[in-house]
Structure 1
């Protein structure tokens, strides 16, 4: 009998276009050596142009999915994504508190899609700060999400440091401030921990097809944590993977295409 790979659960929304959300999470997990499982919190009608509709699932369906997976299969790491409303945030926070001790949780505080469509109600960000942030092993805000989730107005690079400290003080073990929305030739992500500040940089790819970047990075970090990596090593491995996936992103539809989750395998097949 073959041994099962590490098990990673994503709790997030579905992207019907396949570029982000649950679909991106599961692709990233497969590409990075773990068995992906899912709890769907919302269904979106979504494509390369934008989000045409979103429907949150009832709490009992979300709880049912979670218990079905965790009580039988078990988990080695969890990643959260689109939680949509304050009520859903509280439901998911309650479920995360029932996880076995030591199971790492990677939180992607998704608030806006790549196309600028809101994916989180305004009052839900406060619930994320109060309910989800204290449970996060790694919190992965981009520069659009950092200020609102921390409750800090970002006017300077120093404000980013302050916001990261606020989130650490709120209970997150590590905060990875993603620099993808920044300018410059390098994409620099900054990892903050207790007495630790580390930068992870890669050349910025000249490619507009970046749909699913945040979901993919968070899922990859969770995958490496499940495989036994410590947080800095997991972030480094995930940074390498997402950099390749962004560089290989491809056009799909009439708007912003997805990153290529299978870029490593395509490179091998070309050799």
Structure 2
């Protein structure tokens, strides 16, 4: 008998299919692994923004997680939207029993449209209780500002924030610089074993970047599940997302910020002409 390589996403649901649980499942599947989910909240949203958030009871989130862990133990876990301290607590209580499983935490705090997705008191619970279990933290610049407590707007402030936040984490930190308005994107990978590595890539001018952070963290989790070391997994994830943005830039989905092309295949693009 053979088996799939299982990867678990713990995150919120995006009704438009571009981010959250939906983006995670698409990414995990596109990269050849078997995706499982624990849904922390549902959102009513589309490409133009978030209209409403419905929180799943923390007890049921715990039940979802226990059910998965007892039957299909994942090789890696990606965590996204956690909107309440109680959710953090129930996840930590269960996940601390699986220290061998790498955890990639994308601290979803602000949507692409600027909608705040997290309670203020949750940040404190995340830093005190979840950070000790996290293998890699992947905040963007807005999320880094919230976690650091100071505005992060350029490469120098990214470095200052990274040096500070790494002290609160056991392993590694990837600060994403895609929000900077410049032609070259700088991501900072901090590791307690290898130090700082500055990762550069050309910025792709596309309106379709909804779910980029979710997809990147999921792709890195896939890399770790497949046995890659941290630096290789991050490079693997960044390459996948860059390709998905590139091959999705000419496709229109909705009237706002569209999704990546998760299942891109340059030889087999299937699209419909717009009326």
- TM-score, length basis structure 1: 0.94
**What is the correspondence of 1:42-57 to structure 2 with a 5 Å cutoff?**
42-57=41-56
**What is the correspondence of 1:1-271 to structure 2 with a 5 Å cutoff?**
1=1, 3-99=2-98, 101-154=99-152, 157-194=155-192, 195-249=194-248, 250-263=251-264, 266-269=265-268
List per-residue Cα deviations over 1:218-257 (Å, max 9, x = no partner): 0000001000000000000111100011122332111110
Deviation of 1:154 after TM superposition, in Å, equals: 3.0
Deviation of 1:182 after TM superposition, in Å, equals: 1.1
* Residues 168 and 174, structure 1, Cα contact 8 Å, conserved in 2: yes
Unaligned runs of 5+ in 2: 270-275
Residues of 2 paired with 1:47 and 1:37: CA distance?
A: 23
Residues of 1 paired with 2:106 and 2:80: CA distance?
A: 5
* Residues 247 and 261, structure 2, Cα contact 8 Å, conserved in 1: yes
Residues of 2 paired with 1:60 and 1:132: CA distance?
A: 17
Pairwise CA RMSD of aligned residues?
1.4
Deviation of 1:134 after TM superposition, in Å, equals: 1.8
Deviation of 1:156 after TM superposition, in Å, equals: 5.2
List per-residue Cα deviations over 1:67-88 (Å, max 9, x = no partner): 1111111111000000111221
Deviation of 1:150 after TM superposition, in Å, equals: 2.7
Residues of 1 paired with 2:174 and 2:111: CA distance?
A: 19
* Residues 80 and 108, structure 1, Cα contact 8 Å, conserved in 2: yes
- TM-score, length basis structure 2: 0.92
Unaligned runs of 5+ in 1: none
* Residues 128 and 149, structure 1, Cα contact 8 Å, conserved in 2: no
Deviation of 1:155 after TM superposition, in Å, equals: 6.0
Deviation of 1:166 after TM superposition, in Å, equals: 2.1
Look up the SS of the partner of 1:268 in the other structure.
coil
